[in-house]
Amino acid sequence: MSILKINNLSVSYGNKQVIKDLSMNIARNKITAIIGPSGCGKSTLLTSLNLMIEENGGSISGEILFKDKASISYEKADIRRMIGMVFQTPTPFPFSIYKNLTYAPKYYGIKDKKELNRIVEDTLKEVGLYDEIDDLNMLATKLSGGQQQRLCIGRALTVEPEILLLDEPCSALDIRNTENIEKLLLDLSDEYTIVIVTHNLSQAKRISDYTAFILDGELIEYDTTDKVFTNPKDNRTREYIEGIYG
Amino acid sequence: MNEKTKSFLFKGWILLSTLIVLAIVFYIFGYILSNGIESINMEFLLDGPSGIPVGSQGGIFPAIVGSLLLMLISCVFASILAISTSIYLVFYCESERIKGLIHLITQCMSGVPSIILGLFGYTFLVLYLNLGRSVLAGGLTLGFMIYPFIQVRVEKTLLEVDKSIINSSYALGISRTYTLFKLILPICKSDIVSAITLAGGFAMGAASPIILTAAVTFAPIPSSLSSPVMALPFHLYILTGEGISLEKAYGTALVLILLLLIINIISTIINITRKEHK
């Protein structure tokens, strides 16, 4: 079942059209990978899904249906709460770990100290940081890069989203941390729908259920990961997977 | 001339410049210290001026309090305006033309000579708004003077906050206002406080904006915002200008310099602790 339906989406920055008439459906509680060469519009597509594109000065035409209702008919804040996002480089707030995780819940009106403590504890367990952290009052910026990224994933989970968008979340991390995050994403996909942009083909192969290949803002191929990687229909997909494009 | 001699001469020149500036600073401070230290005692620090003419005897306590009050009022007034302007410019203003206009006005304000600001304060605040020669009128005039100083620094600090951190707050569905108060301002807090403290020191040392708006030769500690005050720089000016007591003038200068030094040290400490936090 699809949680997101994208119909004839076009995105442009000023006169420059970055996404061209793209349609695809995102399946619930699955991991969907978006692959393609640098500058093909992967990240733009991702930021269109939670309307963050507007903060960067892009404009959207076409239709994005979230749970069969046009995403623009929701409050922008509601869409962003339900569709969480994790950025390429870890962006912990320069506060304590505890404050990073209570920042959003406090905004949404949770004042009770016990409830906040529960959220922090559950989230840390969920992203596998619980056993790695001794002091919740430690500055989040003092964590290692991989821990910071998991904290950011956790922070996105504190508002109980349904979809999690990740924009090349491992590109700043080493192999071990990448492995940790991939394992985490696999665990999370039981509960959340995950859309991940990656330039790492083996990563897409390892964790995703569906893969979309985008070239110059157009959706070239979209199918189960297995099919895209073993038996691509389009020649351009085959060439990309075999490493012809950069 | 070969490269080696050039670089030697250049190094010599920058070293010499540094030494000359340091020497001048130490000479000024040493000179004031050696001339002023004798007049400093508990009576000088904690009593009002006395004698005939006033100031030839007694102390400068009302002037110390007056200067601190003027600094406080100017800092509160200027920082509220400056922080609001900066927030507007960085987060809300979308028209480049308005941004340019506000920057132009701020630059012009910082270029206005302080005695002219004093004159403006006198005609507008003292006479037109009928505030009278008072600690409030003087504080506000000083506020006009330090406003551009604070505004420029606060704007720079706000612009330095990592855009991706701000975006991750928006991506949680969180409003601009909450992001501003709970994320951006806390991140910038120590930089802003340090800018305000520095500006406060600047205001405290200025004499010309308060000559016409606040300062008088003799007044007790002000009982309300509408009372006139004594202030250290003005007191210093009167003591030397009217030839009342050079000895007391040096004492006053020393107290003023020490206060400014303390303010600058506080600002530096705030900055250092911030760097350690990062």
pLDDT averaged over 10-residue windows placed end to end, chain B, 278 residues? 90 96 95 91 88 84 94 96 95 92 95 94 95 94 96 95 92 92 92 92 93 90 90 93 89 93 88 65
User: Looking at the domain that runs over B44-277, which CATH code has it been given?
Assistant: 1.10.3720.10
A246 found inside a domain: no
Structure tokens of B67? 């200067």
A104, B167: Cβ pair inside 8 Å?
no
CA distances from A134 to A68, A97, A124, A131, A137 (A): 44, 11, 11, 8, 9
What distance in Å separates the CA atoms of residue A233 and residue B276, rounded to the nearest whole number? 56
Q: Which two tokens stand for residue B195?
A: 């800018």
Residues of A in Cβ contact (< 8 Å) with B165: 91, 93-94
Residue type, A218: E
- The CATH number linked to A127 is 3.40.50.300
Helices B135-160, B185-205: inter-axial angle, 10-degree rounding? 140
Tell me, yes or no, whether A221 lies in a domain. Answer: yes
Query: What count of other Cβ atoms lies within 10 Å of the Cβ of residue B202?
Result: 19
Tell me: the pLDDT tens digits for A159-189? 999 999 999 999 888 888 899 899 999 999 9
Helix boundaries (H) for B161-230: 163-170, 176-179, 185-205, 208-211
Nearest CA in chain A to B177: A107
Q: For residue B30, what pLDDT is reported? A: 94
- In angstroms, rounded to a whole number, what is the distance separating the alpha carbons of residues B192 and B154? 6
Model pLDDT, residue B275: 60
**Contact between residue A97 and residue A103 where contact means Cβ atoms under 8 Å apart:** no
Cβ contact A152–B186 (<8 Å): no
Q: Which of A43, A56, A4, A54 is nearest to A26 (CA)?
A: A4
Q: Do A55 and B170 touch (CB under 8 A)?
A: yes
State the Cα–Cα distance between residues A142 and A144, nearest whole angstrom.
Answer: 7
Candidate from B164, B175, B178 with C-beta closest to A91: B164
Cβ–Cβ gap B182/A103 under 8 Å: yes
The number of beta carbons lying within 10 Å of the beta carbon of residue B13 is: 10
Residues of B in contact with A104 (CB under 8 A): 172-174
Which of the residues B168, B190, B274, B275 would you substitute to probe the A interface, choosing the one with the greatest number of A C-beta atoms within 10 Å?
B168
Tell me phi and psi for residue A85, to 5 degrees: -145, 140
Q: Which of B136, B111, B112 lies closest to B124, judged by CA? A: B136
Instruction: Residue A82: list chain B partners with CB under 8 A.
Output: 173
pLDDT at A12 over 70: yes
Please tell me what DSSP assigns to residue A231: S
- Any CB–CB contact under 8 A between A155 and chain B? yes
pLDDT digits (tens, 9 = 90+) for A187-246: 999 999 999 999 889 899 999 999 999 999 999 999 999 999 998 999 899 988 887 664
Q: Measuring CA to CA, how many Å separate B144 from each of B117, B138, B254?
A: 8, 10, 27
Number of inter-chain CB pairs under 8 A, A vs B: 66
How far is residue A66's CA from residue B192's CA, in Å, rounded to a whole number? 42
Q: Is B163 touching A (CB cutoff 8 A)?
A: no
The ranges assigned to domains in chain B are 3-39, 44-277
Is A79 an interface residue toward B (CB < 8 Å)? Answer: yes
Phi, psi of B142 (to 5 degrees): -60, -35
Q: Which residue of A has its CA nearest to B175?
A: A77
DSSP A52: G
Per-residue tokens: B15: 């070293």
CA B227 to chain centre: 22
Number of domains in chain A: 1
Q: Does A166 touch chain B (CB under 8 A)?
A: no
Q: How many CB atoms within 10 Å of residue A15?
A: 5
Instruction: Tell me if the bond preceding B62 is cis, omega within 30° of 0.
Output: no
* pLDDT for the residue numbered B276: 57
Q: Which of A93, A141, A152 to mutate to test the interface with B (most CBs of B within 10 A)?
A: A93
Q: Does A171 touch chain B (CB under 8 A)?
A: no
ipTM above 0.90, yes or no: no
Q: Domain residues for A8? A: 2-241
B8 touches chain A (CB under 8 A): no
| Pairing mode, strands A210-215 and A31-35 | parallel
- What's the pLDDT band for A58 if we cut at 50, 70, 90? confident
Instruction: Read off the DSSP letter of residue B182.
Output: I
Angle between helical axes of A113-126 and A97-107 (0-180°, round to 10): 120
pLDDT of residue A245: 60
Mutation target to probe the B interface, by most B beta carbons within 10 A, among A81, A83, A103 is A103
Question: In chain A, which residue's Cα lies nearest the Cα of B176?
Answer: A77
Give domain status of residue A115, yes or no.
Answer: yes
Computed from CA positions of residues A44, A48, A54, A59, in that sequence, does the dihedral angle turn out positive or negative?
A: positive
CA distance linking residue B121 with residue B112, whole number of Å: 13
CA gap B109, B100 in Å, rounded: 14
Q: SS3 for A144?
A: coil
Q: A159, B169: Cβ pair inside 8 Å? A: no
Q: What angle do CA A207, A212, A215 make, to 5 degrees?
A: 130
SS3 B63: helix
HSE of B8, CA atoms in CB hemisphere, 13 A: 5
- Residue of chain A nearest B184, judged by CA positions: A93
